[in-house]
Structure 1
């Protein structure tokens, strides 16, 4: 553990240059941007794979640290004025040895730039296999500090309902495969309908991602969904915030 913490404390061990694109999450009812999700890109805007393919067990800790710093620095530059838009940052639970030790650089960056902690959402994907007890320690620590937490790709990963029964994050993002063609596949509509009801019982905010067609969007609107993300509304924009196409309800 000592070696890992030494390697990730300043984020300098990952030497591949990279930057971020941002994709908005849209509040349809309020017709505004709810959050901007930071997505890793190559330094010239190349796809995420050009960077993620260089991440390994030796440098994932530093990479995770650099992602947090880069996302906050860019977001602070792109939205220098007062705003309540959230910044969603993906993190790797397996890159966190001890939650409070590994969050120091993030806290220092936010303080240096005057970026409010309650505007930061840390989201993790269910697709990464991780020790549930370790993950819970991270999420509980982040909540105590003042960050918001989110599960990404819900319904496609390893932990699913078992994790949700033990910890209720602020946000759950439904996996895009549940959304794809929901307007022509009644079974998906049933799954999403009951998932939304469960999240409502927990007091968790749902986000439906991966929306590509007006038909998909209309079904979600009929189901009461207000927060959405996808190419229909806006594609990721390299090193900039873009205003989404706000479709009529």
Structure 2
């Protein structure tokens, strides 16, 4: 209840901010995109993890207001980078379950793009595997988003409950392998077999694959051997604020060195 009370005041008091983590091409070391992540520093309580406040926001319905702020801020910041002459990159935004089920979602996102001036190809929307369990609703929502020109990624793949049989019917562009499968990839034959299979399956379905949570050179090399082109994790860069990301894009001109 205390968190909920603070949460209701957080947007108006500008307590949220976004950080961005590069998604890197494993073969060229070029930045292929960015994922934005919300952070909350509450003056009385300090840093509060998204794992603690997002469920409360979902339950109370505050997630709609927070989610719209994230979309607006991510699009606005992307345009700032582009207008400064930095490389034009897609920024991925995570959708909450409530947002995804909102029949007004596509209209809201389109309105945000019109207000910020960001072309749709530079916004990527991420859904989780569990959000796609209602196949008819998920398929309709995804088709609406695709009509507007957005790329859609399925996040945390391998941790949800959706049937693989439905995966081929969803109009998604990218599969993100959850970091739980990447950790200790070299030492875990089971994880290695699962990751190898998921990458091969994604390729068969003409999907791009992103491996999340890459932290070591060993993990990177295994993923490259398996044909995983896109990677994300602390090995390349932790999530960083907009100013730092701008410096990275300016300094390396799309190339990031671990």
Aligning the two structures, in what range does the TM-score lie when normalised by the shorter sequence? 0.7 to 0.9
Match of 2:134 among 131, 135, 159: 131
- Within the alignment, does 1:87 sit opposite 2:91 as a pair? yes
Q: Is the 8 Å Cα contact of residues 29 and 256 (structure 2) preserved in structure 1? A: no
Q: Distance in 2 between matches of 1:181 and 1:168?
A: 32
Structure 1 residue 185 displacement after superposition: 1.1
Which structure features the higher share of helix residues? 2
Structure 1 residue 116 displacement after superposition: 0.9
* 2:207 paired residue number: 204
Per-residue CA distance 1:191-245 (angstroms, 9 max, x = gap): 2112111111111000101011111111111112221000111100123426375
Structure 1 residue 74 displacement after superposition: 2.2
Q: Distance in 2 between matches of 1:53 and 1:93?
A: 10
Structure 1 residue 29 displacement after superposition: 2.1
* 1:182 paired residue number: 185
Structure 1 residue 20 displacement after superposition: 0.8
So what's the TM-score if we normalise by structure 2? 0.81
Structure 1 residue 67 displacement after superposition: 1.9
Q: Which moved more, 1:119-128 or 1:20-29?
A: 119-128
Taking a change above 3 Å as real, the CA distance of residues 162 and 234 of structure 1, as seen in their structure-2 partners, is same
Structure 1 residue 140 displacement after superposition: 1.0
Q: Is the 8 Å Cα contact of residues 106 and 144 (structure 2) preserved in structure 1? A: no
Match of 1:213 among 191, 211, 216: 216
* 1:102 paired residue number: 105
- Within the alignment, does 1:60 sit opposite 2:71 as a pair? no
- Within the alignment, does 1:16 sit opposite 2:10 as a pair? yes
Taking a change above 3 Å as real, the CA distance of residues 208 and 233 of structure 1, as seen in their structure-2 partners, is same
Per-residue CA distance 1:18-38 (angstroms, 9 max, x = gap): 121100100122321111101
So what's the TM-score if we normalise by structure 1? 0.84
Question: Over aligned residue pairs, what C-alpha RMSD do you find?
Answer: 2.5
Q: Is the 8 Å Cα contact of residues 127 and 155 (structure 2) preserved in structure 1? A: yes
Q: How many residues align?
A: 234
* 1:118 paired residue number: 121
* Alignment of structure 1 residues 26-45 onto 2, 5 Å: 26-42=24-40
Per-residue CA distance 1:9-53 (angstroms, 9 max, x = gap): xxxx96423121100100122321111101011157944346425
Structure 1 residue 125 displacement after superposition: 1.6
* 1:163 paired residue number: 166
- Within the alignment, does 1:149 sit opposite 2:147 as a pair? no
Per-residue CA distance 1:125-157 (angstroms, 9 max, x = gap): 225575222111111111111000000010011
* Runs of 5+ unmatched residues, structure 1: 1-12
Give 3-state SS (helix, strand or coil) of 1:237's partner.
coil
